[in-house]
Amino acid sequence: MSNIHRITVHDRAKGITHTFQVPDDRYILHSAEKQGKDLPFSCRNGACTACAVRVLSGEIHQPEAIGLSPELREKGYALLCVSYARSDIEVETQDEDEVYELQFGRFFAKGKVRAGLPLDED
């Protein structure tokens, strides 16, 4: 028998807060949608960052979140499409571009790249 957890999502883009219940054996995003909550998402398989949130409190389990680096996970980021609640949680949606920049910014927008290293610019 699964436990039920209270989920609070602060949607920064829309300026609203969603509260709903999720069993610990169901994905948070899927459960939210079944309850009529309109949360951001794209791929639904943990590969992008459209559904990224920052965890404010509580515990999330996300073994399939391949779209987030271990460093971002350690900093409290999660992907709701492949996350399970392990307690009552409170999260805040993130701008997809901000999360992408946090994760990949050190590799991009720094000039020409060859073999993963920036070249000196003339």
Higher pLDDT, 45 or 120: 45
pTM: 0.81
| Tens-place pLDDT, residues 11-28 | 999 999 999 999 999 999
- Domain locations along the chain: 4-118
d(CA 74, CA 54): 11
Residue found under tokens 């779209």? 67
Beta bridge partners of 5: 22
Q: What is the mean pLDDT of residues 37-52?
A: 91
Q: To which H or E segment does residue 57 belong?
A: strand 52-57
Write the CATH number of the domain with boundaries 4-118.
3.10.20.30
d(CA 59, CA 42): 23
Ramachandran sector of residue 111 (left: φ over 0; alpha: ψ -120 to 50; beta: rest): left
